[in-house]
A = this chain, B = another copy of it.
Amino acid sequence: MGTVASLDGCADPAAHPEKVRLATANAPGPEELGRVSAIFKLLGDPTRTRLLYALLEGGELCVCDLAAATGTAEATVSQSLRMLRASAVVTGRRDGRNVFYRLSDAHVRLLLDVTREHTTHGTTAPRDDVR
């Protein structure tokens, strides 16, 4: 049989065991993967995305400012911010009766920038060119 490196065909478990092993070995473990996809899921809701871009542009805003800037009910904003805060996407700072929120760190800003650029002049044209 020999160990032919690259042969197509997809039986047993997989066609390219080496690559598969490489992928499984270096990929994030279950827990880390959970955290990562949780972050993305948070950014994946339009309401929360709106809030985050408002913070990206506005710098630091309180709940009612965010509500006004995004056209969202304050209760909704508050709940959204709670989730974002729980995953350290945003950070809250209390000042009197207001709580001011901002993006937590440069990572988050980078994510927002990169993705916006990707969709703007990216490869984002909906395609289905495989077949």
Which residue numbers of A lie inside 8 Å of B, CB to CB?
8, 10, 13-16, 19-20, 22-28, 32-46, 48-50, 53-65, 67-69, 85-88, 92-99, 104-105, 107-108, 110-111, 114-120, 122-131
| Contact residues of A: prevailing secondary structure | helix
**Contact call B126/A87, Cβ cutoff below 8 A:** yes
The winner among A64, A68, A111, A120 for most chain B CB atoms within 10 A is A68
Task: Considering the complex, give the chain B residue whose CB is closest to the CB of A93.
Answer: B130
State the number of copies, please: 2
**Contact call A115/B107, Cβ cutoff below 8 A:** yes
Which of B20, B23, B40, B88 touches A123 (beta carbons < 8 Å)? B88
Please, how many angstroms separate the alpha-carbon atoms of A55 and B118 in the complex? 19
Known A-B contacts A68-B20, A119-B39; the reply to A34 vs B46 at CB < 8 A is yes
Q: List 29 A-B contacts (CB under 8 A).
A: A8-B98, A15-B62, A19-B69, A20-B69, A22-B57, A22-B58, A23-B53, A23-B57, A23-B61, A23-B65, A27-B69, A33-B49, A33-B50, A35-B119, A36-B49, A37-B43, A40-B41, A40-B44, A41-B41, A85-B127, A86-B126, A92-B129, A94-B131, A107-B114, A108-B118, A111-B111, A111-B115, A111-B118, A114-B114
